Amino acid sequence: MKNIIVLLVFSIIVSCEKVILGEEESNTPINNFELLWQDFDAHCSLFVSKNIDWDASYNEFRLQVTNNISNEELWQIFSKMLERFDDSHVNLYTENDAQIFTSGFTLNEQSKSEYSKSLISSKYLDFRVEVTSEDNLSYGKIKEKNIGYIYLGAEDGEDPEIIETILQELSTYDSIIFDIRQNIGGDESYTRRIASAFADNENLVYTTQTRNGPSHDDFDEKTLFYSKIIGTQYPNPVILLTDRRTISAGESLALYMKTYNKVTQIGDTTAGDFSTVSTRRFLPNGWSYKYPIQLPRTPTGEFLDGNGNIPDIYIKNTEDDISNNIDKVLERAILFLFEQYNID
C-alpha cells in the first residue's frame, strides 16, 4: 500500500511538472523569432503611445528569417525590428550579456559628448562635494555667484533623505541649479523623496496603467501619482537642467519638479523612456530581452513615452562646445537667474 501511495505521489509530481514547465521550445531561428514577436505582441505597452504597426513589422521581418540563417543575421533582424520602438527600455541580450542591444541608443549615446562633469567642476564651480553614500550625487557652488549647484546622475542610492542635509548646506544661496543631465534613472521612491524637498504644492504629476490583456489597448485602471511636501523645503528659485540622456526615473523626477511654481527647466528634451520594465524574458537560444509594460500619461492625458519632458527654455551643447570648454546650458541657466530674478 505504501509503495502504491509513493508511486501515486510521484506520478502527480511528474504530471504537475509537465503542466508547469510545458514542452521544451525548439531552438530554431524561426521559433525564436515567433516567440519574441508574440511575447511583445501580448505584453509590451508601447504600441498605443508609439503608434507602432506590429503586424506590419511581422510581415516585413518574418520573411527574412529562415532556419538556415546565422545567429549574427538573426541578431541584426531582431535589432532592426526592435529599433522601431525607439525606447531605451527595449533591450536584447545575447547569452551572458556578451552583446547588448538598446533601442533608441544613438541619440542617447550622442548626448554623452555634449556634457562634461569635469568641465563643470573645473570651470564653473568654486567647490564640489561628492556624496559617497549615494550613486552619482554631488553638490557645490557656482563660481562668483550666490547660486548653489546639485548634480544627480542616478536614483539608485541608499539614503534619499540626504537631500535634506544638502539643501540645509545650500540654504543661504539665492537659487539652486539642479542638474539631472545624463541621469539614467533608478528607483521611483527615491525620485519622489528627492523631489519632495523642493515642493511648493501637492498636485497630480502623472498617471500609469499596466498592460493586462491581449489587445494592444488593454490596460488596467489608472494609478495616480501626486507630489508631496516632506521635510524642510528649499524656498528659492530652482533651475532644472535636462538632456536627451535624462531617462526613466530621471524623467519622472523632472515631471515632479515641473509641477512646482519655482522651477524652470532648461536644456534638451528628455529621452521619453518613462515606463516600468518587464523582468527578463528568455528565448530557447539563450538570448533574453525586456520591454515596457506600462502606459504613463500627463494629468491631461498626453502620452509621456516618446515625447519626454519639453524644457521651458530649449538649448543644448554640441560636442564642439564641450571641446572648447563651454557649457552653454549651464551658462544659460546662470543668465536666466540674473535676467529673471536679478540673482548674481
Q: Enumerate the domain spans of the chain.
A: 116-198+233-272+308-341
What three-state secondary structure class fits 319?
Answer: helix
Q: What is the C-alpha separation between 305 and 307, in angstroms, rounded?
A: 6
CB of 86 closer than 8 Å to CB of 104: yes
Q: What is the C-alpha separation between 52 and 91, in angstroms, rounded?
A: 17
Q: What is the C-alpha separation between 149 and 323, in angstroms, rounded?
A: 22
Choose among 88, 100, 111, 112: nearest CA to 273.
Answer: 88
Segment 208-214 long-range contacts (CB within 8 Å, at least 24 positions apart): 208/275, 208/276, 208/294, 208/295, 208/296, 208/297, 209/294, 209/295, 209/297, 210/45, 210/276, 210/293, 210/294, 210/295, 211/43, 211/44, 211/45, 211/293, 211/294, 211/295, 214/42
pLDDT tens over the chain, length 344 residues:
334 333 333 333 333 333 333 457 899 999 999 999 999 999 999 999 999 999 999 999 999 999 999 999 999 999 999 999 999 999 999 999 999 999 998 877 889 999 999 999 999 999 999 999 999 999 999 999 999 999 999 999 999 999 999 999 999 999 999 999 999 999 999 999 999 999 998 999 999 999 999 999 999 999 999 999 988 889 999 999 999 999 999 999 999 999 999 999 999 999 999 999 999 999 999 999 999 999 999 999 999 999 999 999 999 999 999 999 999 999 999 999 999 999 99
Q: Please provide the size of the chain in residues.
A: 344
Q: What is the C-alpha separation between 38 and 42, in angstroms, rounded?
A: 6
CB of 330 closer than 8 Å to CB of 322: no
CB of 249 closer than 8 Å to CB of 270: no
Choose among 151, 125, 121, 126: nearest CA to 137.
Answer: 151
CB of 240 closer than 8 Å to CB of 180: yes
- pTM above threshold 0.85: yes
Q: Hey, what CATH topology would domain 116-198+233-272+308-341 get?
A: 2-enoyl-CoA Hydratase; Chain A, domain 1 (3.90.226)
